[in-house]
Structure 1
């Protein structure tokens, strides 16, 4: 396993910084103060904050810099700037976020997010982000589901791309090192403290150790455990599983958001996300009978804020003075369930979806200007012209509300020196995330995590050492799939996992199906133990998947076990056998998952919700 026999240095390909390394036992090693695992919005913002606070910082990413899944976030960044509605403020945003999460959110995270998001957006603009403007020259803000006011700062339907471009340029400008196409497989610890990470270069298969007292996980979501997903290939639950294996806990894992509008036809774009901006800019949902059905699914909770008739909804798009939103802009869980009900009732499209129509309601020029990415990608990839015809859409696995349990103010986990931000952390969104809150989440908590990690490192009297035994264990664990001959192909195991999660732990759940899913996951664990990988470590995607599968199985078990335990329907979790929301029992507690003693599965416990202060409770007294 020896790759590098001596110490030395090399130049970083983008920043030009000299990166020193030394070799011990044939493993390449580098030393930093803070390691950020993931180069999406959360990871880059955390790295920038850590660097600016004085920490020698490295970003490690599975893909290339600038290719993170954040680029697929299209709608905008939710922030109460008040540019379109002067009445908007952080208190209303906080209330919307808590209500959208059905009050299971950690109140402190929702509060910090609502208070700090406007400043983070303005900061992006200072760094060069080019937002769309109002007629007065202010940052434009659009409407999105679940938000009382139009508050999403946007760049057409390419907001995530502009955000990544801006953060990436900032990171390179200030000289942050980036290790690209590198996968982290283990968190290294000295006792109860983080000491670094172990991983490998995807191109060569060579192992590498990055020593650091602080590690920030910013690895994104878990969507590749499902068959139909809007997520990119990197989303295999790496951060969730790394945190579990290092001793941290996961919270709210039963809550998986199925975005209401993913393409179901043609096959070339199946699962691809259709941004909520299409509905925010006037798109409506119709069933196969041509009926605009969302008026039949307005929950009592939202009746006072939602239009009752087509005339009222259409007038809202024109003048927005009454601010009674169209029902297409209800929170995502409500819209997804309504679509699912129409399909199950036999009123779906020929390919198992429903119709999303903006073509009959907006001019082609308007659509091409406001939704350029949507227009071009579907025209080029599927020969679907959204200015001329409706889209066939249906729910697609999009986001996981659950993640690593963290301290709201620092994002530190139960493991000293380990932090988690973005989609791989939990608590901020409760049982359901409002559209646009994800990008604000990345910026607000990325900054807090970077500053906290830097402060922790600077306060250490000495750095925790990396144990050679842990490095050797990391090596042997990584190469284990090569040791088995004649075993199963990892791709067949992933396919079976995705099918099981799609069929049994999808948008509508029942106890028998969840129990069947857990049995299937146990069988898949046994198959993973005997799977084999052929060839060598260079350019070997089968080997990469074999390591990802361990993470996907842990995360899938966490989701299914928590979903079975929560005997109610709430947010992104719908139980057909428990269709009502039980505020008295299940509205007062979270479910927390930790690794079992054997280290091969998870155990579940209940945990009371953190008590909200009285000064914040007043925002819900009239609701």
Structure 2
């Protein structure tokens, strides 16, 4: 253990364990695991890599991604290829995606799906024994590979087993609270062991942020309550990196809603696979209402289109008593449902609903943040030696994410970042992180955490966090307007003032963790609100009722960086152009035809 004299006269002195490592991976979901695997496969000694998880090993948010993972294998539709996958991704993103990052994902995924198959992932199979593929919304062909409706769970289990076979070290239940930097260079990170309350300082040549997104900042969301709370983007921003596209938050059309399910299930995802396998949406009057909004693509139109259609049905009085609509797959055979959707079938059966004979009740739920950290083609941020991957990074999804691309992004950029970092370690003679500078920065932050743990203010951090979620739902939900966004920023400032007077327990307490979550959430919420207020148009998942049209002049990304006095400075940057191969696929006009399912 390391200890030190008081910092600037502060007391008590912080005591902490120091860990030295070449590469620190912050986040133990699919992206972090795949990056660590690639590092070792590229020749990095496993003992030079450490994966940090905020929860128990194997309990990352990846396991909640159920429906599938995209890659143009062509096992069902041989005419599909990576260029059409890229074209679908760009169209779904309303052409705000970074074309190069889109192509990184779509080119790599067929090979990476085969690799996962070789590693033992339990993919569902075609009659010929190949990896099966299903439709997801807005995809021109069946390219979503799946393991029943527990794909994320199967994926993470496969990656954890592979990482363990390579003897990659990990630590679980560790909350990283700060990335340490000096002169634009990452030096490592500090945090707390949530089981013991001990402080930890990780000195690293390179750090990888794979800590998820920010949709748990909404009152109705599809994540675990203590995951996706903005850790990744906030850690990067506070370290000096830029954020981008934060205003684009995807509301999945089908989250659970209804008194019969209970409060703990509210907002939980009903996988898109239900609609991909033929599920139909009905309002309270028995109308299959997507015929009005999207007669060609129906329930499998883009997620933003379907979510807004449901929202409109409810607002115009055609919703259920619980503020939702009905999703019905009972026209399919029971055996088909049990085979293709086993987890969904079991979940609803446990709640007293037989999906084979009756519909389930659903409503939109905050599901995915398309925004995140600005990174280059290798996933490195503006901070030297700091990388961001998975939902923490920006660029792949633009204004709306194609279903099945989230897991694909984690695998593709996990591999890409691992390759780049391995090359960096092999090719660079970087100056070592000095003891004095590292410990000076670590002690300063840990002294602040020590003070936080002893706070006896009047505000409960969990209560403030819940109020922030309500603020986001009210002002930055499916429908936004300029007046509401300004009101949201004013309410946020009032919450920030109250957050200066917290009552916090010791570092093992729930209140301590929520105090740290709240700090990240305040930063990310401001970024979402400011980006949404700045974008005076409607595009993809961002819908402004006071600017309902898409404006070609706004085909630009909004970038957020810290200004010289600590505030948020917003600017815009132009979007790049796709390669000729992808442009050819765009020009061909491929499009999903829902009626092939009927």
Q: TM-score, normalised by structure 1?
A: 0.89
**Residues of 1 paired with 2:451 and 2:216: CA distance?**
23
1:493 aligns with 2:488: no
Match of 2:79 in 1: 87
Q: 8 Å contact 2:87–2:583 — kept in the other structure? A: no
Match of 2:242 in 1: 249
For residues 478-513 of structure 1, the C-alpha deviation after alignment (integer angstroms, 9 at most, x for no partner) is: 233334323211011111101110111101001111
Q: Which runs of 5+ in 1 are unaligned?
A: 7-23, 299-305, 308-325
Match of 1:365 in 2: 335
**Residues of 2 paired with 1:53 and 1:463: CA distance?**
22
Q: Which runs of 4+ in 1 moved over 4 A?
A: 3-6
Q: 8 Å contact 2:14–2:447 — kept in the other structure? A: no
Query: How much has 1:348 moved relative to structure 2?
Result: 0.4
Match of 1:40 in 2: 29
Query: How much has 1:468 moved relative to structure 2?
Result: 1.9
Query: How much has 1:376 moved relative to structure 2?
Result: 1.1
For residues 152-174 of structure 1, the C-alpha deviation after alignment (integer angstroms, 9 at most, x for no partner) is: 11110011111000000000110
For residues 233-274 of structure 1, the C-alpha deviation after alignment (integer angstroms, 9 at most, x for no partner) is: 221111100100111011110100000000111334211100
1:51 aligns with 2:40: yes
Query: How much has 1:142 moved relative to structure 2?
Result: 0.6
Match of 1:572 in 2: 541
Query: How much has 1:72 moved relative to structure 2?
Result: 0.9
1:212 aligns with 2:201: no
**Residues of 1 paired with 2:390 and 2:338: CA distance?**
31
1:238 aligns with 2:231: yes
Match of 1:274 in 2: 270
Question: Secondary structure at the residue paired with 1:33?
Answer: strand
1:297 aligns with 2:277: no
Query: How much has 1:331 moved relative to structure 2?
Result: 1.1
**Residues of 2 paired with 1:290 and 1:441: CA distance?**
38
Question: Secondary structure at the residue paired with 1:467?
Answer: helix
Query: How much has 1:208 moved relative to structure 2?
Result: 0.7
Q: 2:114 aligns with which of 95, 107, 122?
A: 122
Question: Secondary structure at the residue paired with 1:620?
Answer: helix
**Residues of 1 paired with 2:541 and 2:66: CA distance?**
21
**Residues of 1 paired with 2:582 and 2:81: CA distance?**
14
**Residues of 2 paired with 1:458 and 1:198: CA distance?**
26
1:374 aligns with 2:374: no
Change (3 A) 1:586 1:5: closer
For residues 301-342 of structure 1, the C-alpha deviation after alignment (integer angstroms, 9 at most, x for no partner) is: xxxxx63xxxxxxxxxxxxxxxxxx41011111111111111
Match of 1:195 in 2: 187
**Residues of 2 paired with 1:602 and 1:296: CA distance?**
42
Query: How much has 1:122 moved relative to structure 2?
Result: 0.6
**Residues of 2 paired with 1:241 and 1:442: CA distance?**
19
Match of 2:303 in 1: 332
Q: 8 Å contact 2:97–2:398 — kept in the other structure? A: yes
1:458 aligns with 2:458: no
1:505 aligns with 2:472: no
Question: Secondary structure at the residue paired with 1:406?
Answer: coil
**Residues of 2 paired with 1:487 and 1:470: CA distance?**
30
Q: 8 Å contact 1:33–1:454 — kept in the other structure? A: no
Match of 2:498 in 1: 527
For residues 338-381 of structure 1, the C-alpha deviation after alignment (integer angstroms, 9 at most, x for no partner) is: 1111111110011100110112x11222211111100112222x
Question: Secondary structure at the residue paired with 2:257?
Answer: strand
**Residues of 2 paired with 1:547 and 1:399: CA distance?**
21
Query: How much has 1:615 moved relative to structure 2?
Result: 4.8
Match of 1:262 in 2: 255
**Residues of 2 paired with 1:602 and 1:39: CA distance?**
30
- Counting matched residue pairs gives 571
Aligned residues: CA RMSD: 1.6
